[in-house]
Structure formats: C-alpha cells, structure tokens
Structure 1
Amino acid sequence: MDFDLTAQQQARYDDVLAAVRARLGTVREQAGSYFSRDDWKTAADIGLVGLCLPTDSGGGGLGALDTALCLEAFGHGCPDTGFVFSISAHLLACAVPVRDFGDSPAAERLLAGLASGELVAANAMTEDAAGSDVGQLAVTADRVGDDYVLNGDKSFASNGPAADVFITYAVTNPSAGFLGITAFAVPAGTAGVEVGPPLGKLGLASCPASRVAFRECRVPVAYRLGSEGQGSVIFQHSMAWERGCLFAAYLGLMERQLQQCTEHARRRRQFGRAIGDFQAISHRIIGMRQRLESSRLLLYRACWLLDGGRDHTTAVALAKIAVSEAAVANSIDAVQIFGGAGYLTATGVEQQLRDSIPATIFSGTNEIQREIIAREARL
C-alpha cells in the first residue's frame, strides 16, 4: 500500500498551487457582491473549471483523485472559499452530468462552454419541500412534441444569479416516484426562466445563490440529460463526484489555516513566552492536524474507489462527514487560537468558520450521510 502521490500528481498539485497563489491569491470576499467574471476567466485559464471534463471538449481529462488534488491546491492557495466553491459546484454538480449523460450536439456545445469557462453553471435541485427528501420534487416537465414544458420553483441554486445554464430536475411521471424524475440542462436565456436576487447567506458569500422559477418554460428534448426517468440516477452520480472531490477544497483551507495558526503560535507572545509553548495551544494545533490528516486519507480513498469503478457509496459518505466536521472544528479552534484577532474580519479567520459551517449541510446533510452509511451496513 503506497500513500505517496506520484511525481506527476505532486508536480500538478505544486503547479496549480503556485498558479492560484500568483493569480488568485489576492481574491477576497466582498460584502454585497460575488465573484467577478475576470476571476472566473483566470480560474479557467489555470484549468480549474474543466479539470475532469474530456480533453476533446477542452477539459483536463482528470479522474476523481487528480481532480480532488487540484481542488485541494485551489482551496489552499485562494483565501476566498466562496469562489472556490462556485468553481467546484459548476464543475462537479453541473458539468459532470453533462459530460456523462449529455448525448446531443447541443449538450456537446454546452460541455465545451463549461470546460472553457465561457459558461457558468448552476445546480437547481432544491425546492421548498424537497431538501434532503429529493424524491418529493414539485417542479414538473410535460412532453409537448419535441419540447418539455417546465413549471415550478427551485428554492436554492448555487451560482444562480451568475449562471448561463441551469442543471435542473423535474417530475415527468408523477406515478413513478423517484423513477419519474428527469434531468435537464436549461440555458438561462430560455423564455420562462426567472432568476431571483442573490440570497443573503452566513458564509461562502462569493458564491451567489438564488431562487429559480420555471414558468411555461419550453426546453428542447436535445437539452434533456440521459433518458426520461433517469434523473435520480444522474443526480446521485453527480453527488458522488461532488462529495468525493469538492470537499478537497476544504482540505486546502484547513492546510492553509493550520499554517496560519502554527505561525501565529510561534509569533504571538504572552507571559514572556510564545503561546505555542503552552499545551493549551500546542495540543489544540495537534488536534487540528489530526483531523486534517485523517479526513484527507478518507477523501483520497473515496476518490480512489470512484476512479476504480468500485463500490464507493459508504466511502464517499464517510469522507464527506469527516472533512466537513473537521473543517468546522478546526475553524473554531483557529478562532480560539487567534483570540480577539480571530474574531475580527481582518485576519480572515472568522471567515474560515463561516465558510466551513455550510459544508455539513450542502451535498446532502451529514445526517443523511449517516443514514446512507447505516443503509449500506444493512442496519
């Protein structure tokens, strides 16, 4: 069993980290605004928006583990986790379904735009009455000739206000339960698409989120992903990639955070000593490292299983829980280590906490992940 990265993987990680630090290292959360298209273009130039998309569509052609390593470097080098999240959601929750289930010329054109960064994608699944219970969708899609007519409301779409295309899910056969859900790629300019204003959020401020409504929205069959009724399978497929790869960005955040805390503990002096000399501080930092390293191993293993086409359901759920809860715990510790300075916005430490809290909720709450693990264990 070899735990080392290959020389190629390490070189790719180092290259991405260096590029992100040089070109996106000064990106900061801005109150009342979200990411700029210039920053998005920079991320696309580095290759981040198309990491796991096919090379013939302009992507990087990477597997899950290599994608995760690049997103980890992105999260390490860029202090704006909201922006990192926007890119990751675009790639994993949106572009991956188009990559694997879009089989029309229209879908191929979308994929090329997603890989180049010309298009920004938003995932529109969540509804007011369908959060964790995704089988209770109310948005409908009725087949009318060569179109589907979509009607209904989505309550939370990350990247919604900035999106050029929405990956969404609607009921095409109400009597079939989860087998009656179908996936669509809906260009934002389609008549009947109504995008709400950005929602106020605790963290991840640079990733705008909004409601999205479909009002007699006619979507050509060419923009359907997969076959009719395959939506639940497509959504779970995209979530496996998101839970397996997106949370690597939080590994990068925790790595950067750990370095900040270590440097602060060496530099900050109280009672004539560096605060790192006190076990109350040093042991807290060791706990942060333990959570980081253990959750990193779980995530790498989940991606390795995903790449190998092996059963990854439990591994991905375990990794999602471990990384998200480690990010929250480590961020609380970081605030405590920095003390009063950690409570101020200037250090960026309090932002790390705000950006970590939603990690236990999105991509399937941690409570749902535990239910998945219990089900797989036949409990």
Structure 2
Amino acid sequence: MPTQTDVLIIGGGLAGLTAALHLQKTGIAVILIEKDTYPHHKVCGEYVSNEILPYLQWLDADPAILRPSIITRLQFSTIQGNSIFTRLPLGGFGVSRYQLDNFLYEKFIAKGGLVIQDTVNHVIFGKESFTVSTKNKQQFIVRQVIGAYGKRSSLDLKLKRTFIQQKSPFLAVKAHYTGEFQNDLIALHNFKGGYCGVSKVEDQKINICYLADYNTFKTHKNIGIYQEKVLYQNKHLKDIFERCTPLFETPLTISQLSFGARKTVTDHILMIGDTAALIHPLCGNGMAMAIHSAQICATLLTAFFKGDISSRTELEKRYIISWNQNFKSRLRMGSTLSAILSKEYLAEKLISGMVNIPFVLPMLIKKTHGHLLTVQE
C-alpha cells in the first residue's frame, strides 16, 4: 500500500530541510526523501548572509550553536592583484554544509520528522494528488511535492526541464584547509576563467571554493597543476594556497553547472533552492536564497492547506510571483557580474571604478542580497 502524507520533499539539503522544519512547525504532515546519509560535505561557498537569521531562529534552528565564523568584511581582487575592501551591510557567518545540513536534519528528526534514504524515480500528478515512486520500490500518494534535490538530477530529464539539455562550461571545486586567514573576512579573487571564494567556517577551518571554466581546466593534468598555472596568477590566491594545508584527501568537484533561473513550477511541483535557480557563487548568497525560497514555499503551502489559498492554480501563481519578486533581479545581477569578471579588461576597469567611487561595491552587494527575513506568528 502506498504511504500517504500532505507534503513530500525530494532532497534534504538546506532548502529541503528548512521547508520540512517550517511545515512541521505549522502542523502539516511532511516526509523528506534524501539519497545520501548525514552528515556529508557538499561543493559550496559556505557563507550565509545574516538576512535569514531571524527565520532560522523562528524555526528553533539558530546556527550560533555550531560556532560559525562571524563575517563582516568583503575583499575583492582581480587577476592583476588589485583589490578593494568593504564592510558587508548585514554581515554573515561561515559554516560548513557538513555541520549545517546535519544540524537541520537532527532538528527535524528530533521533532518527529521522517527522512527516508532513497532516490525518487518518478513523480506523476493526477486528480489533485501526486504519485511518487522510488528506486527502492516505495510509493507515496501526496497532496503536494516540493523539489529540493539540488543543481541537477536525472529527475530533471524525466521532467523535461530545458536547462538539463544545455551544456555548461563551468566546474566547481571545493576543499577545507588549515592555515592563516582573517576570521571576519570573505574574499573573492578573480582569475582567468573564474573566481574563488575564501572564508573561515567553524573550528577555524578555511573553505576555499572556486568556479572555473571547464575548457581551460581540462588542458591541465590535475587540479593541483591547474591551481598553480591559473589561480596562482592572482597573487592573493597564490599566497593563500601556499600558506594553507588541505584537510581533504582530494577536493570535491561538480561540473555542468547551469546558472540562472529555471521554472519554479514544473508539472505542479514547487521548486526551491538550487532546483529553482542557481546564483553565481561570486554573489556569495546561494545558501541564504535557498533558505529564503523554502520560507516562501512553506508559507504559501501552509495557507493553501488551511484554505486561505483557494486553488492549486492560485498557489502556483502566487509562488511564481513571490519568487520573482525576491530573486529575479538578484539572479540577473549575478549573471551581469559574472559576464564582466570573465573579461580581464572589464574586471580591472570595475575594480578601478570601485576604488575611485567607493560606494559602488556596497551598492552591488545590496543588489545581490535581501533584507532581514522575519516571520509573523
């Protein structure tokens, strides 16, 4: 017999776990399916804007218990090594996905939540409900499905999402290190074909995560040689790598990254987090956006189940509108900045302009970040 529930969430990353906690708090029956066990590392910049702190506190999931680094300043540099510093308007914190995802997972489980380790194979909508089947031959009948399975999945192929057919030239690489780096700083360093983020997470570990042009990367034998030949052209990156010791046996990598917005509703599935859109890492705001998108989705779903939203059509319409209002311009700015930084000449011009006109960089930061996210009881 199929298992029945109100909501089934596919994917247990930041967005999926946050949505699960929110729905659980409002009394909606929810099951989460995640293919991996906890805890596990993920390719991620691991910087979180403080804009989502009030919301996490409302969920009884204050990350302060994880002792994250407190980040208040940003450094930005070009290939030539020219750099500029500024204070972050809201500030943020650094915490690993290894710790944060597991923290949210344990919160959900402790409050009676159900997480099933499995992989969703098919989602079929009909007669106002979804039938979901998994690799381990489990079946679920649910009123609503939320897609929170990350950057790309075989499920995207089955749902015929257009972005999955498009090749992307980007490769992301991430690892943790020990060494010297300022606790309150997040640094974004440009190099030919990409950019690299550096910041502290919990326990004084340094997270280094960079996005590279795959065509440039594949001309080198391995990651180490690529870093020495390409990233080291930026003197700041050369100095950081030479002063740090890797904690991972090998860095984590992920390829075929497709940035920008995707359809936020596909076959009546509400998409959140990276499943709905992937913002360029240089914006340093993907984790906060994932959590914020979960809040939007869970809030509207709660209203739908209470009868305050009269139909599925209205639910989907309101979700798309709210998602666009909060994220569309931020994604557009991320794409624009990425296009500029991919051209060495333009990147140097941008830095020069920001040095001469200091308010430009804080203005760009505000364009890629949101406001403090509060929740009314």
Same fold (TM over 0.5): no
TM-score class normalised by the smaller sequence: under 0.3
Which has a greater percent of helix?
1
TM-score (norm 2): 0.26
Greater RCO (Cα-Cα under 8 Å, separation 6 or more): 2
